[in-house]
Amino acid sequence: EKMMHSTRTNASMLCINITPKFVRIRRGVALSTHSSSLRNCQILSSNAERGTKTQRLLLSGNQKLVIDSSTSDDASMGSHFSRRARRHFSSPFARVSDKRRHALVTSASSNNNNKITSAKSGLNSTSGGESRLRAINNPSQQREQQGLADALAAGKSAKSPPGSSRGQEEKEMIDQTYELNGNNFAEQTIATPSDGPIDVLHASSKQTKSWQAVRRAVTTGPVQSNALIGGTPLIDVTSVLSLNPSKVKIYAKCEYMNPSGSIKDRIASYILQAAIDAGDLKEGMTVVAATSGNTGSAIAAACAIRGFDYIVITNKKCSIEKIDSMRAYGGTVIVAKSGVAADDPEHYQNIENTMVAENPGKYFGVNQYDNLNNALAYEATLGPEIIAQTKGLITHFVAGSSTGGTLTGTSRYLKAVNPEIKSVLADPRGSVLWDNFVNDVPENELIVGKWEIEGVGKDSIPGVLSWDVVDGAQRGDDASSFYTCRKVARDLGVLVGGSAGLNLHACAVLSGKIDNGVIVTVLPDSGVKYLSKIFNDDWMNEKGFTGKEKSPEDGEIYWRPGANDPCENQKSSRMFPINACSLQHDTRKQCNDDELNPREQTEAELRFLEETAARMVEYHRQSVKIGEEPVVLMNTPESIRAMFSEAGVGMTFEHQEPAWSEQQLRDAVTTILQTSVRSSSPLFLNQLYAGVDPVALAGEWVSAALNSNVHTFEVAPSLTEIEKSCLEKVARCWLKTNDGVETPEHDGLFVPGGSLSILYSILLARDVADSSIRKAGMDRNNKLVAFCSENAHYSYKKSAIVTGLGEENLVAVKCLPNGAMDPGALRAAIASAIAAGKTPFYVGTTAGTTVLGAFDPFSEIFDVVDEFQNANGKSQRIWTHIDGAWGGGAMLSKEHNHLMDGAERSDSFSWNPHKMLGMPLQCSVFVCKHAGSLSKANGAKAEYLFQPDKNNSGADLGDRTIQCGRKADAVKLWLAWKLRGDEGFAKCIDRSFHLAKFVQLEVENSDGKFVLVQPAQCSNVGFWYVPPRLRPFNRTTATEEDWAELGYVAPKLKNAMQKAGDAMIGFQPIASMGYVNFFRLVLPNPRHITEMDLRAMLDRMDTYGQEF
């Protein structure tokens, strides 16, 4: 009752995690302020012991906090639904039941005694700067919230509407948390690393979270400070440092661009948050960290953000700039002796250990040298960034080591993606790491030297460091490292610290030892921290470093036994080496022309291609998350053209069209995306296609980039064989071929759409019935007649028109009450045609009709066909086809393949994997039982393509088709099928069917809000929405006027939903069955939608329709 009372304001709710002194709002705004800022919050829960209860907290617009505690038995359910916590709707939550409340919350094991700081929600705005609410809103609140946003934008004070208790507090809430484009990544969600190799394709959403999104958030609006962590640029230093610049590239990550100025921000944020989540770091405790400098500054900044006091311990070797930066965040800095033994009590690490051990519960020790979260932070963030920024082309990773975290964690991720990537340690002379790794000197026998480079090298072996992922090492020195710092400052305008100089010098050495490769390193901090040292001539002279640097050509790389470098001494992959062809000594007159496009222009265009590809990946990532963006923005043809013109990218071509700039191309892509429907949204339920399988999309891009026509083997060798393999697999599934049994004889093609599949089936049937038509054509006296159900796809009619059969010779057979073809009606129709002197030659059936999802009773239908064929001694064949474009995928499911019983008796079969499996449009398969039938019916034997005396002429597919050009559509299906396997596809099919049944049950139990048209037979559900004025609606007693009124509702309701950017659901009548307009909800791609999403959508439909 308290929960229901707290949500009765009908306000928008956010899902948050409670942690000591820190409140996280997933995909929202993360704030950490004094707990008094929640003075108006009301906590409605008793204390619960940590680890035994799960707290679920709902934050509503009136700033009431409600904590619902459940026993640990419910923890798994809370964990499950935490994945849904990012999906925010301003739905009518006042009617939320206990069972459904699970979907709105995210779980966090926490001590209820801890103070909760603050959490505020924000409105979003479009990229154009105009105020915009969340994509999907409660219709009853849109005007109210939009008024607040508009008033704030105009600098006015927004008044709360009558009955609202928000007032000035809500205005402050909006002011403080206003964000752009719906993406304020105030808290960077760091990827979850794995204990073993990371399977990138099967990784969880956390493992594959886009670091680009962080950068995008920074460039589109205000963010919180720790949103700046990670996503650092990768700069090209090849021209200055590579000894082999044409073949060996050197790239460096600008880690000094993290908020506290170093790479250590990554581990500071990760370690502290992990400690908070685990309950090891509680409110009121002080964080203690031993550091050579950068970690201290990063910990100080991370503590400032989270509201913790801190003590950092460094040594006198640390620069004054770094010591001052550690103090700047308001904590305590202890400067210990430098040069003491690792086991000396006054060693800065031992001071941290002693303080924490002697003050349990008061101090939390970061223990960065032995804390495994150190390496995990880099595995989760830096590794994925490097792979993404180098497009996976990295061959070597070079890094110095102090704690071992950067080298271990990053190398672990890189090798999980590509085991051939080699990791190289850069170690200063004097550090014990070199002798331990290279000379295998036991730890207790290591002798520590002296070096001046800060932040790298070590006097002992840290527990985080793992030599298992290190392949080689380069031993540097102070003078060469500092000289390199000055060199890149002078030649590149980049000011970096000494550890970056060490790394860069090692990269330069490595570049001279390999024939080709892509070397990546890190620039851990900025040279600003070393102005009193590295960039001070007096200090350099005093230390004796000036003029003592070593040339990279004189350096050496040590490779661990068995870890020989993969790029060393490799032969060039060029088939024709530059300037070594037969024309080199050509005595004929020199040609003066050059390439049409200069190389610079080509490179610019390729960069635009890369940029656009990255944008589309991010676009898809946004699209699959409910509530991130509207499914559709309502427009007219005129308004769309106006938007293009306003963006400076007019849609109409000029008489003399001028060339566009690269920026105009970007603006054009942006405008296209803004004015398009997000068909990958889980709430795009309008068509039989939706969403896109990312791996299949990669296959689409591969085939598009290859730009090969699959008509001859010689221009598309692998693509041709991939298509044949897919056709064989589909034929085996359709014909129910058992394991170990040879694939039956078959023929087939990938065709541009299911409609073309039906056309192909009629062409083959016509050729069997009367092959003379190929030459003589169809005449008006032709007696051929075909049959399909009255609910069959309209492409049957179109194919009858195209083939010359004519609409009059395509008989629409009556259907059973469920929408499937009636075998008895077919028998009567065939008999009637024969009596009229016509020749039946074709029967088209359907597996999953477009509207009702009905499966024709194949066995009974084919029994009818056999009756007539047997009656005339089979002298007149009747070709049978199954249009399985929508429901044919049931053949892959053990649970639903009974729907395809008898399908193996048909002559041909078509299936659209772009329906229900998320293959990119188009992906359509046509197969038949009779090998060679396609070439016989369609072949033209074009002499310039299908020469019988060329190599592999028998492998060509092109003469089977009615086309010339044909895309390699099989590649996307082949890649996705190989990744997911039969079981993965079956799970997708089963989930679609399951969700349809769920919607059916929701409709049936909606207390009269919805009325079911037919029980779900496939993964589509038909229903009417009944507005309150027509309730209760009784189908058996409703008058003709009642039905007419109900028929007006669906168009109005869809219009309201489209205006709100909400779900898209199609509607239509079925006149032959007496059905007025009803909604046809389809579930063609169930990967990102849940039962709770569908239930919430039905609730919103009811809200929209209250006044209809």
Whole-number Å distance between alpha carbons of 885 and 755: 9
* Contact call for residues 825 and 863 (beta carbons, < 8 A): no
Buried b / exposed e across 656-689, counting CB within 10 Å, b at 16+? eeeeeeeeeebbbbebeebbebbbbbbbbbbebb
The closest of 66, 64, 51, 57 to 110, measured between CA atoms, is 51
Q: Which residues contact 640 (CB under 8 A, 6 or more apart)?
A: 651, 675
Q: Which two tokens stand for residue 12?
A: 């928008």
- Given CA atoms 1026, 1031, 1032, 1038 in this order, what sign does their dihedral have? negative
Is residue 1010 helix, strand or coil? strand
Whole-number Å distance between alpha carbons of 1065 and 1084: 12
Pairing state between β 558-559 and 472-476: antiparallel
Concerning whether 264 is annotated as a catalytic residue, the answer is: yes
Is residue 833 helix, strand or coil? helix
CA 883 to chain centre: 32
Is residue 881 helix, strand or coil? strand
Q: Which residues contact 165 (CB under 8 A, 6 or more apart)?
A: 9, 62
* Contact call for residues 489 and 535 (beta carbons, < 8 A): yes
Q: Which residues contact 1104 (CB under 8 A, 6 or more apart)?
A: 139, 1053, 1056, 1057, 1060, 1062
Whole-number Å distance between alpha carbons of 392 and 552: 27
Whole-number Å distance between alpha carbons of 57 and 15: 7
Whole-number Å distance between alpha carbons of 231 and 241: 24
10 Å CB burial of residue 595 (0-12, 13-18, 19+) is exposed
Helices (H), 624-753: 637-646, 662-674, 694-706, 717-734
The 3-state secondary structure of 486-549 reads HHHHHHHCCCECHHHHHHHHHHHHHHCCCCCEEEEEECCEEHHHHCCCCCCHHHHHHHCCCCCC
171, 264, 282, 487: which one is catalytic?
A: 264
* Contact call for residues 823 and 815 (beta carbons, < 8 A): no
Degrees (nearest 5) of the Cα angle 27, 29, 33? Answer: 145
Whole-number Å distance between alpha carbons of 426 and 501: 10
Helices (H), 877-948: 933-938
* Contact call for residues 525 and 294 (beta carbons, < 8 A): yes
10 Å CB burial of residue 581 (0-12, 13-18, 19+) is exposed
Residues belonging to the chain: 1108
Torsion angle of C-alpha atoms 454, 455, 460, 462, degrees rounded to 10: 180
Whole-number Å distance between alpha carbons of 388 and 614: 10
The closest of 993, 759, 984 to 887, measured between CA atoms, is 993
Q: Which residues contact 813 (CB under 8 A, 6 or more apart)?
A: 787, 788, 789, 790, 821, 822, 825, 826, 829
The closest of 1005, 1021, 792 to 885, measured between CA atoms, is 792
Q: Which residues are catalytic?
A: 264
